[in-house]
Structure 1
């Protein structure tokens, strides 16, 4: 027999009130989170708690995730990071290291008995939808100053998160509610990825070909992380998007592939100044610091709810370039969907 469970993470504002959840059936699920965390922390912790709570079982486990980052961290990158002293290919520290190390321990004890399957998020997959609901409910609970219901978990597993199960009329677990005890993982610190960065310094677009850790940390299809310094909630979406655009063009962000990946839509593409069409994967392979280029904002408009267009001009050795970026809002977050650059005619 194989246990099939979905695991998911959530963060409001990313970073912000964060949650995680895993779900097997109405009588077997768990949730938790932090007053301040990231989506990636939630994704990884959901899997970690699931592994810990099922460690006493003999059955094989299939984990369904809509986060390729979480799956690749565990199945592709973690072993290499460990061999390098928990450093990435570019020599930088691994984000969410405490959780990743705990996952390494949990997986060593389950060799050959745990598999991971990617499922598309928000596509009607029943288990994924429930895990997403639990994670989002936990995030919302912490946003409101409550501690989420930890759920029934798996029996008497030593590492279970305590909490009483509540079932709605349709048989699905209710959204996490307040409980006096906190999550098992409240002590996990927020990732260093969101440490403060220098004041925004607009830069030009990077050309493919520069060194980057393209083999790790860039496979993402979930909601993007807000760049450091960007407010969680803005009164005007145009201000939020403009801040994100500027942050995306700083050396502080452009020198970290994971930060750039977090701001690009999974289906992102670009038509460059030369007329070449570039995919997200191709762009991330060449991303890196490029030096200062002046940025003149010409237009920032909310074309429709959840869609913002930015038109701006950059100046470089090749002359002036007119640029436009389309940003879209999904799962409560903004990220760049398309970028276009053209040489400005005199």
Structure 2
């Protein structure tokens, strides 16, 4: 199964209220397009955490191994895989090149577990540049960030 995953994260302040938006899209052999959207808001988090969580939620929603093309405007997310940062972090025991602890390690570990059954290609897209799915994910993420009535607690966030 070939799946397109689009995700974006938002934070009003960094840290501050935040949210993610994700779209999963699959075209069946019949030509029928199946699409599902996800979003959630959090009372206090960071933009990078929301970028990661958007990708995680999309991958965790897949019920069988897939070929996934993951589109994100987050260089933090995309470069971690395309420039092999994750491999270095693992080799150094979750330390970055400066020997400091990797930030958001709880989400990086969750992302690696969610990614494991799939073949994932990471593609960077320029944010706020008219990419329809990225714009939709941004709208979902910002709406979630701006809706305190629906906010959850980001249990892994550390100020």
TM-aligned CA distance change 1:42 to 1:107, over 3 Å: same
Task: Please say if residues 78 and 104 of structure 1, whose CA atoms lie closer than 8 Å, have aligned partners that are also in contact.
Answer: no
Structure 1 unmatched runs, 5+: 149-181, 196-346
User: Which residues of 2 match residues 24-103 of structure 1 at below 5 A?
Assistant: 24=24, 27-54=35-62, 56-75=63-82, 76-103=84-111
Task: Identify the structure with the greater helix proportion.
Answer: 2
Structure 2 unmatched runs, 5+: 26-33
The CA deviation at 1:2 is 1.8
User: Which residues of 2 match residues 1-346 of structure 1 at below 5 A?
Assistant: 1-24=1-24, 27-54=35-62, 56-75=63-82, 76-110=84-118, 113-141=119-147, 145-147=148-150, 182=152, 186-191=153-158, 195=159
Distance in 2 (alpha carbons) for counterparts of 1:51 and 1:29 = 12
Alpha-carbon displacement from aligned partner over 1:263-309 (angstroms, at most 9, x marks no partner)? xxxxxxxxxxxxxxxxxxxxxxxxxxxxxxxxxxxxxxxxxxxxxxx
TM-aligned CA distance change 1:147 to 1:102, over 3 Å: same
Larger Rg: 1
- Name the SS for the 2:146 alignment partner: helix
Higher relative contact order (CA closer than 8 Å, sequence separation 6+) = 2
TM-score normalised according to structure 2 size: 0.86
The size of the alignment, in residue pairs, is 150
- Name the SS for the 1:146 alignment partner: helix
